[in-house]
A and B are shown apart, each in its own frame.
Chain A
Amino acid sequence: MQTTHYDSIIIGAGPAGLTAGIYLSRAKAKVLILDSGVAGGQMILTHEIANYPGFESISGYELSNNMRKQAKNLGCDILSGISIQDIDFESTVKTLSLSNGNHYTADTIILATGGRSRSLGVAGEEKFKGKGISYCATCDGDFFTGKEIAVVGGGNSALEEAVSLTKYASKVTLIHQFDHFQGFEHAQEQVRENDKIDIRLSSTIVSFNGDEHLESVTVEDHVSNKRYDLPLNGVFIFIGYEANTDFLNGRCIHLNERHEIVVDSQMQTNVAGVFAAGDAVAKRHRQITLAVADGTLAALNAMEYLNNKKR
């Protein structure tokens, strides 16, 4: 069993993690950045970024590539596509084991694991992904031209995409679990004014049905407590994001009720030497610029922690 030691291990290679890596490696720390997917995080999924200072417009793909190259050129080791098997962050020397059998230790950890789109988690969802179920209206909307579809969700994304999808679909059924929407009032007005949109509140999809592709969904009405089948060709799911903190559940790191990491103003978690940054942290606003700021602060404080430890 081979164990490699780093000054700092950063979990997550989105803008927060890559920024932390850039700062730490420039300060001559030995840094490993791990990511379960590809470097860039949610940023790589953004078609166009127009609010990142210094770039009037840049694709998320290009900005991700630039940040990754910068971190790598400064000396960060970056491992993508990893899966964490076990952690021990409570000891002075933190340990981390991957499912591929590799083991690492570090004096500091920065958790920058970001977030992911929520899925419904009901029967048939995985089977019909790409065969009727989509999470991206701009990507897949044109496959449903002249067809009947549903949109799931009640926030701004769901409301805006429901309106947007009426450009393609003959009918859009908007299904939301609560008896009211959470989106902005103007977005709700646009939905209610659109003749192509049928609203079903207090309702949830309990199964996706079909053979080769999606043919219907079974909906449960929570007012009447009845279930019924709704024939359609497609479902677009926009039910928000959740923090990638599954591997921290039941561990020493303090999470809030939404499973987001709780930190102080210096990005320090409740465990000495463990910092957190970016979208996985409990906070109100999530932006690339804020993730970069979080990553900077976490790195500076991790560096201070490392320096104090050496004294």
Chain B
Amino acid sequence: MVLPTNLKHVATAAELNELINSEANVMVCCGRMGPMCIPVYGIMEELEDEYKHVAFRDMMFDSPEAAVIRNLPECRSFMGLPFTVYFKDGKVAAATSSIQNRDQITTILDREFGKA
């Protein structure tokens, strides 16, 4: 199960583990095709060309495999979609809940992964 976006998708927990162990900088947006999530996917699509040192992916929130994101300790207090998680060298560097604007996202990308 994958989302109908223009981003590359993560479908399984195994895929996510392989990705964060092979890529130094990974941003995963775990959501649905709803009004809080879609703008974040759109911003990620636009940032892909700019932040070539970051792997941008989405993941379907309602997939059982997305438990790997939903159950992260960093997402424990989250009560709003999407859950967006930034992985640095295989570990969670930052996580946000609900819609974020471009400035909020690039602030985290610049801080955790370095400027484009």
Stretch at the interface among A3-11, A33-41, A199-207: A33-41
Beta-carbon contact of B79 and A47 below 8 Å: no
Note all chain B residues with C-beta closer than 8 A to A59.
4, 33
Beta-carbon contact of B79 and A139 below 8 Å: no
Stretch at the interface among A124-132, A223-231, A291-299, A300-308: A124-132
Quick check: is A104 within 8 A (CB to CB) of the other chain?
no
Closest residue to B40 on the A side, CB-wise? A38
Q: Which of A39, A59, A130 has the most CB of B within 10 A?
A: A130
Note all chain A residues with C-beta closer than 8 A to B101.
37
Q: Which of B4, B35, B39, B41 has the most CB of A within 10 A?
A: B35
Note all chain A residues with C-beta closer than 8 A to B38.
44-45, 60-61
Note all chain B residues with C-beta closer than 8 A to A61.
4-5, 33, 38, 41
Chain B 40-61, CB within 8 Å of chain A: the 1/0 string? 0111011000000000000000
On chain A, the number of residues with a Cβ less than 8 Å from chain B's Cβ atoms is 32
- Least CB distance from B78 to A in Å reads 6
Our pick among B5, B81, B102 for the contact of A139 (Cβ within 8 Å) is B81
- Least CB distance from B70 to A in Å reads 11
- Least CB distance from A125 to B in Å reads 12
Note all chain B residues with C-beta closer than 8 A to A91.
none
Query: What's the Cα separation between A133 and B36 when bound, in Å?
Result: 12
Q: Which of A150-167 contact B (CB under 8 A)?
A: none
Quick check: is A89 within 8 A (CB to CB) of the other chain?
no
